[in-house]
Amino acid sequence: MKNKVWDSVGNTPLIYLQSVSEMTGNHIYGKAEFLNPGGSIKDRAAKGIIARAEKDGSLQPGGTIVEGTAGNTGIGLITLAAERGYKVILTMPNNQAQEKYELLEALGAEIVAVPPCPFKNQNHFYHQARALAAGKPNSIWADQFENTANCMAHYETTGPELWGQTGGKIDILVSAVGTGGTLGGSSHYLKERDKNIKVVAVDPTGSGVYNFVKNGAFSGEGSSITEGIGIMRLTQNLAFANVDDAIQVSDQNMMDMLFHLSKQNGLFVGTSSALNVYAAYKIGMKHQGQGKNIVTFLCDHGSRYASKLLNNKWLDKMELHPNSLV
């Protein structure tokens, strides 16, 4: 059997998070998306986007994929594009973890790093990618935020996997929002199977999803060190979501959970993963001792951010000092 990198996306294990489960008296699970070939949940979106472009003929042999990304979608794209003969050009904000740039270069991606700026500014990495693709023959703009191949990949794979792995016994689904693809596709699928599943969106400070779910308008104050998470607009992928509630998590609480998982569960996960699990933990505490099945996503591995997360000088600069959850 000749399984390719392409075939290895998905079917990730669902890990029982023993420490936080015992602390809350519930059953908290994390889907180990860091075990995808490109190391993150974004491999699913990348595969969906490439597959749709191949099917509709917009991506031709030897073509180029252009995308604006905080890193993980770009890594997913170049990981899957390599064996299919495509080139990848990525526009990225220049303040992401150094490991991401180094990995992308090692994989052969061309990187255009730009200063961070508000989305409405045409110098934003999202708009820069669109402009690059428009001016390059035989290329496509992946457009992970508005391209619904993203959420459909989760509707067709992630949702069914969760349903099967839990035997259809899910009480609460918890997910952060970057493009809205994961939450959109997974929540839509699961709600079709059981309308009683509660779906909770997770937001870092500075993002507008929490206020959108609670009050119907995108707004947020502050900022967050989380990379690739948080938006201030309703994307086509997020519009596909079926959400009941939202929870906001501070960077400090996220860091507390990140190092708790590392020391208590042997899982050194990335910031979005820790954000998800802290939210699941807080929800579990509200339902303490009720034996709820709470499912979330371990989006990527912490080694992708080691130059920040394991750098005491950087942590001091950010005024982040991990504490015990108890």
Helix axes 42-56, 181-193, angle to 10 degrees: 90
Q: Assess whether 42 carries a catalytic annotation.
A: yes
Angle at CA of residue 46, ends 45 and 48, nearest 5°: 65
Task: Evaluate the CA torsion angle 10, 13, 18, 24 in order and state its sign.
Answer: positive
- Residue 47: closest CA among 22, 21, 76: 76
d(CA 123, CA 129): 10
Catalytic residue among 42, 100, 191, 282: 42
Q: Give the active site residues.
A: 42
